[in-house]
Structure 1
């Protein structure tokens, strides 16, 4: 991956995170704001109706000439991380298969993010 492709990836982050923000705002009693965090390409603070804060973080975890890999995860105030998915340079959700090859997930990154949000807020998990 060249310097220009890294810059292009970083420039695409805003549009990707804006799409997730729009989906989150469709839920009732949710407040979403940008939050600056070290080592994050982007971070959203999401506060629910019970004033619980979660941080949705996008972190670049690796890149080479063939592949860029980012991690999209929720971070609780206690420091517990809930990984939504890994992303390629096209912001498609990917997973590492047993043969150590990255493959596209069946769900979109946005859907996986919202599924993890719902799982975190499930009364069965708490």
Structure 2
């Protein structure tokens, strides 16, 4: 997940640097709001690690929701970037943090702690890039 987000970020930065992607005021505004929402959803590593797995998963799902909401508000390259980011974060939708009493989970799996950390790092990287886009 983190690797995919990093690749997306590198591509976005290159497109902006080479002026292939010309940011609009709407792009900047949506990126600023999404960056703020991602920051609110997933805090610093030291804070996230103190949370229960249920809370960490909730925060990751909030981050994915923030990306989806931002995606709904734009078109063009920012939409393509956010769509690819949402796809990269999709595994969190199949995670569960609660025990399955009867064994049925609709295919949800329990992630290991490293997967939480990786997903949180990916969200932080995405957040920092969106913040950069907002001020570019």
Structure with more relative contact order (C-alpha pairs < 8 Å, separation 6 or more): 2
Larger Rg: 2
Structure whose residues are more often helix by fraction = 2
Q: What TM-score, normalized by structure 1, do the two folds share? A: 0.30
Structure whose residues are more often strand by fraction = 1
